[in-house]
């Protein structure tokens, strides 16, 4: 693979291509726009469009599309070809600056939460020059923002860019005040680790639940699960390895720096992590990565499952959002350096994140809420639903010292004693691993671990950026006007006050225990257990004021997102309950009857041969199957009636709560009954591939 450097980014209109293709002044103007967000003149856009088209056509493209992220959670594209008739039945390939900068997809069928009445279906896409254009299946894809005729954001990119700007503005003000006057902007950086399952396409095709809902609604556990911990970091099977290899190559071509891959805890579960990038690009790349993962899986006879909980009884999939802030001068603001206790600038930003996470825990929790992720959070396999922070020993000692006003002495870092002289000696990381914390400091960044595997990482980053921007704005207000020693004192006082007020959010222990749930309640931390419980936090007066203050969402935009999230939750559950009823009615109940028939036939046949022969076992089995059959049938009737009731509810929150409180428990009970029968049924009667088939034979 000597050709990786050549392969890398070969499908991306990146800086190297731009430099080659663009006149010098145009390249300079574009770069300024990319780096400083300055307005781009139409003549520059025209020139860029010509170069883009030329490059795209040279690489086999025939179409272009404005690629955007509507509020469905997926990405959207509408392809137009470059052709333009020139008479005489001939065409040339054309692409203008206007077409590059603005698009006008008919947008009436995307969710807008009432933002855009359907009679006024116009939506606009606007080129985002900060995320590079790329080629996909012969189409030039141009990352764009998506908004309504009246300018409201209809997507995730627009508020994300707004939140990055807000953070940059507030962080720069604080840095300048602290004497770091060279800094003119700050960007947030993100590296999302993505978990996924691979199962065989043939099994997938036989499971309606996977096809319609992305997760199994039925299925008895296989004799072996993940209890041996033998899959985690285990050697990768050849077929999976071939997939991963192919996947890396496809991602590299798209300029996505896929770096780390390994087997995860659950059987058939894996993880892929790229190297971090600016948040905007990382979010786009993660969307693209999920798409490529599915596509490449297909080539290998797999289906890639990105659902948060495809299988009961074994771990589900999440995403770890590694996050930091970095200045235009190249400084990572969360890098503690050798002596964090003396690094004022680091401490200010660390404290800002601590306060942000404590004050806006509701928004962080909300940003990861979905029907799928409800199965993980709080289920002792993912971080708990309570948002707390892990700092590790060294930083905890530092913040303790600040609180007590004692001087923090940075003891010599401990040399790791491996006990084997042939191994190189290395220094212990200042933070240990704590897998149960939702928000952990990991050396020079924070890792927000509550994200679901299938969702865009845009929302969590919008909330995180906004929360930290807001705290920094407050810090600035408290510190401005001071200089020299007075400023030093003011900073010290601010740090002390902040840690006293917000240390309740710091928790270095085991987040999976019942004691923590009690302790967190005593500390006054939120514990939103489900999506319907937390969603209303999006539109509380104080949160709307926060969004408006920092220009993230208008009130209408926040309301629309609230409505879309609720609607999405209800629709997801509606599809799940309908799929479950369908599978029970058409597959599982008939299979149970067939099983009962076989038993009955056996009893009758034996009796015919000889009346004294025992049929005790069959009778017992028959009684068991019949009892479960009847109970299951009753539950299906109940599920059906309750689904109709849910559909009739006009109030979305009431509907969502009903799904959560009534329908989900019924689905769980139905599953328990069905799985108990599946566990004793003959293999050829089970109407779909079993957990063993799916998880252990790929
Ligand atoms: P883990 O040990 O948590 O599994 P990985 O190496 O798999 O760690 O992932 C760590 C992720 O954090 C990578 O995507 C890496 O690029 C990212 N990362 C490293 N530094 C930063 C930073 N300053 N900002 C954001 N992400 C970062
Ligand atoms: Mg990690």
Nearest CA to 471 out of 331, 363, 395 is that of 363
Give the fold, CATH level 3, of 4-155: Ubiquitin-like (UB roll) (3.10.20)
Rounded average pLDDT over 4-22: 94
pTM for the full predicted model: 0.94
Contact 615/602 with Cβ under 8 angstroms? Answer: yes
Looking at residues 677-698, what average pLDDT do you find?
A: 93
CA of 276 to the centre of ligand 1 (A): 6
Which residues does residue 81 pair with via DSSP β-bridges, in sequence order?
63
Is 275 near ligand 1, meaning CB less than 6 Å away? yes
Tell which wins on pLDDT, 465 or 425.
465
By C-alpha distance, which of 351, 330, 349 is closest to 278?
330
How far apart are the CA of 619 and the centre of ligand 2, in A?
Answer: 53
**pLDDT value, residue 343:** 87
Distance in angstroms (rounded) separating the CA atoms of residues 570 and 190: 31
- State residue 412's pLDDT score: 41
276 close to ligand 1 (CB < 6 Angstrom): yes
216-227 pLDDT per residue, tens: 999 999 988 887
Kindly state the tokens that stand for 675. 């799985």
Ligand 1 atom, smallest distance to 324 CA: 24
What residue ranges in 29-138 does DSSP mark as E strands?
63-67, 79-81, 83-87, 90-93, 102-103, 123-127, 134-136
Closest atom of ligand 1 to 326 CA is: 23
Q: Looking at residue 408, what is its pLDDT?
A: 53
The whole-number pLDDT of residue 416 equals 46
Say what the pLDDT of residue 237 is: 85
Supply 97's token pair.
């600056």
Q: Residue 426: is its pLDDT beyond 80? A: no
CA distance 226 to 234: 12
What mean pLDDT do residues 143-172 have? 93
pLDDT band at 283 (very low <50, low <70, confident <90, very high): very high
Nearest residue to 400 (alpha-carbon basis) of 524, 336, 496: 496
Give me the pLDDT at residue 151, please.
Answer: 83
Q: Residue 120: its pLDDT value, please?
A: 59
What is the residue with the minimal CA distance to atom 7 of ligand 1?
273
Structure tokens at 270: 């894996």
Note the pLDDT of residue 195: 97
- Give mean pLDDT, residues 337-355: 90
Closest CA to 159 of 225, 70, 219: 70
Inter-CA distances, 341 with 346, 393, 401, 405, Å: 9, 13, 8, 12
More confident: 150 or 128: 128
Residue nearest to atom 4 of ligand 1 (CA): 193
- Say how many residues make up the chain: 698
Question: Is the beta carbon of 264 within 6 A of some atom in ligand 1?
Answer: no
355: CB partners within 8 A, 6+ apart = 471, 498, 501, 502
Structural contact between residues 13 and 133, judged by C-beta atoms closer than 8 angstroms: yes
Task: State if residue 158 touches ligand 1 by the CB under 6 angstroms criterion.
Answer: no
Ligand 1 atom nearest residue 320's Cα: 3
Q: Considering only CA atoms, which of 679, 682, 681 is closest in space to residue 691?
A: 679
Pick left, alpha or beta for residue 53 (phi over 0 → left; psi -120 to 50 → alpha; otherwise beta).
alpha
How many other C-beta atoms lie within 10 A of the C-beta of residue 605? 10
Q: What is the DSSP string of 175-217?
A: HHHTT-TT---EEEEEEEEEEEEEEEHHHHHT-HHHHHHSS-S
CB atoms within 10 A of CB 175: 26
Best mutation site among 193, 275, 318, 322 for ligand 1, i.e. most ligand atoms within 8 A of its Cβ?
Answer: 322
Residue written as tokens 């779909």?
Answer: 688
Please work out whether the CB of residue 486 comes within 6 Å of at least one atom of ligand 1: no
Q: Is the pLDDT of residue 425 over 60?
A: no
CATH class of 569-695: mainly alpha
Q: Hey, CA dihedral for 515, 517, 522, 525, is it positive or negative? A: positive
Q: Cβ distance 660 to 531 under 8 Å?
A: yes
Domain 163-414+424-553 falls under CATH 3.30.590.10:
yes
Q: Which tokens hold the place of 407?
A: 């001087």
**What are the boundaries of each domain within the chain?**
4-155, 163-414+424-553, 569-695
Q: Which residue bears the tokens 């969360």?
A: 334
DSSP reduced 3-state for 333 = coil
- What is the greatest pairwise CA distance in the chain? 104
Closest to 288 (Cα-Cα) out of 451, 75, 131 = 75
Which atom from ligand 1 is nearest to the alpha carbon of 271?
7
Please compute the mean of the pLDDT values over residues 59-82 and round it to a whole number. Answer: 91
155 pLDDT more than 90: yes
CB of residue 189 inside a 6 A radius of ligand 1: yes
Q: Is residue 328 within 8 Å of 410, Cβ to Cβ?
A: no
Q: Which residues have a beta carbon within 5 Å of ligand 2, which is an ion?
A: 320
Best mutation site among 259, 272, 273, 438 for ligand 1 pocket (most ligand atoms within 8 Å of CB): 273
Give the closest residue (by CA) to ligand 1 atom 22. 324
pLDDT tens per residue across span 487-509: 999 999 999 999 999 999 999 99
User: Given pLDDT bands bounded at 50, 70 and 90, which one contains residue 234?
Assistant: confident
Instruction: Look at residue 213 and tell me whether its pLDDT is greater than 70.
Output: yes
Q: Candidates 194, 262, 278, 445: which one to mutate for ligand 1, based on the most atoms within 8 Å of Cβ? A: 445
530-576 pLDDT, tens digit per residue, is: 999 999 999 999 999 999 999 999 999 999 999 999 999 999 999 99
Query: Rounded to whole angstroms, how far apart are CA atoms 183 and 54?
Result: 37
How does the average pLDDT of the chain come out, rounded? 92
In the block, residue with structure tokens 């693979």: 1
Report which bound ligand comes closest to the CA of 275.
1
């Amino acid at each position: 693979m000597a050709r990786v450097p050549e392969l890398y980014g070969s499908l991306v209109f990146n800086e190297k291509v731009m430099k080659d293709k663009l006149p010098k002044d145009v390249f300079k103007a574009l770069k300024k726009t990319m780096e400083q967000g300055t307005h781009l003149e139409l003549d520059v856009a025209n020139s860029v469009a010509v170069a883009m088209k030329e490059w795209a056509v040279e690489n086999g493209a025939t179409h272009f599309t404005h690629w955007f992220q509507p509020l469905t959670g997926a990405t959207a594209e509408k392809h137009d070809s470059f052709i333009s008739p020139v008479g005489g039945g001939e065409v040339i390939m054309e692409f203008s600056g206007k077409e590059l900068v603005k698009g006008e997809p008919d947008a009436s069928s995307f969710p807008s939460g009432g933002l855009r009445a359907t009679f006024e279906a116009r939506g606009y896409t606007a080129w985002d020059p900060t995320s590079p254009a790329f080629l996909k299946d012969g189409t030039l894809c141009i990352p764009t923002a998506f908004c309504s005729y009246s300018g409201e954001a209809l997507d995730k990119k627009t508020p994300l860019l707004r939140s990055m700007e807000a953070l940059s503005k507030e962080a720069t003000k604080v840095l300048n005040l602290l004497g770091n006057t060279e800094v003119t902007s700050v960007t947030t950086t993100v590296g999302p680790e993505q978990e996924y399952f691979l199962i065989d396409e043939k099994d997938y095709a036989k499971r309606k639940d996977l096809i319609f809902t992305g997760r199994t609604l039925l299925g008895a556990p296989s004799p072996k699960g993940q209890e041996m911990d033998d899959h985690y970091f285990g050697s990768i099977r050849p077929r999976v390895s071939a997939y991963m290899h192919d996947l890396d190559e496809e991602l590299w071509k798209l300029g996505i720096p896929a770096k780390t891959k390994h087997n995860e805890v659950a059987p058939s579960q894996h993880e892929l992590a790229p190297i971090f990038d600016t948040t905007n690009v990382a979010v786009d790349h993660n969307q693209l990565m999920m798409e490529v993962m599915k596509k490449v899986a297909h080539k290998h006879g797999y289906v890639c499952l990105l659902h948060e909980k495809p299988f009961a009884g074994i771990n589900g999939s999440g995403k770890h959002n590694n996050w930091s802030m970095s200045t235009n001068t190249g400084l990572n603001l969360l890098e503690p350096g050798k002596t964090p206790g003396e690094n004022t600038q680091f401490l200010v930003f660390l404290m800002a994140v601590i306060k942000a996470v404590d004050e806006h825990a509701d928004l962080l929790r909300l940003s990861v809420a979905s029907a799928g992720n409800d199965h993980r959070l709080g289920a002792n396999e993912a971080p708990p639903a309570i948002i707390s922070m892990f700092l590790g020993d060294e930083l905890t000692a530092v913040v303790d010292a600040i609180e007590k006003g004692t001087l923090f002495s940075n003891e010599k870092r401990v040399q790791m004693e491996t006990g084997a002289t042939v191994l190189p000696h290395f220094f212990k990381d200042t933070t240990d691993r704590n897998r149960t914390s939702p928000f952990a400091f990991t050396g020079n960044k924070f890792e927000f671990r509550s994200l679901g595997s299938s969702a865009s990482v845009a929302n969590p980053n919008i909330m995180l950026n906004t929360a930290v921007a807001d705290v920094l704005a407050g810090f600035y207000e408290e510190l401005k006007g001071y200089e020299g020693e007075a400023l030093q004192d003011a900073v010290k006082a601010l740090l002390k006050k902040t840690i006293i007020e917000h240390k309740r959010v710091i928790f270095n222990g085991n987040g999976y225990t019942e004691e923590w749930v009690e302790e967190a309640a005593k500390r006054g931390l939120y514990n939103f257990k489900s999506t319907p419980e937390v969603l209303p936090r999006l539109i509380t007066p104080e949160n709307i004021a926060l969004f408006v203050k920092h220009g993230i969402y208008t009130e209408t935009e926040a309301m629309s997102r609230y409505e879309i999230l609720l609607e999405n939750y209800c629709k997801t559950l509606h599809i799940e309950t309908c799929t479950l009823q369908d599978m029970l009615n058409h597959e599982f109940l008939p299979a149970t009857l067939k099983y009962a028939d076989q038993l009955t036939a056996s009893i009758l046949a034996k009796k015919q041969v000889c009346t004294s022969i025992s049929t005790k076992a069959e009778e017992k089995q028959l009684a068991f199957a019949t009892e479960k059959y009847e109970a299951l049938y009753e539950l299906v009737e109940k599920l059906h009636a309750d689904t109709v009731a849910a559909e009739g509810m006009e109030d979305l929150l009431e509907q969502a709560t009903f799904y959560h409180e009534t329908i989900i428990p019924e689905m769980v009970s139905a599953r328990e009954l069905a799985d108990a029968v599946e566990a004793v049924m003959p293999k050829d009667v089970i109407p779909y591939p079993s957990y063993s088939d799916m998880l252990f034979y790929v």
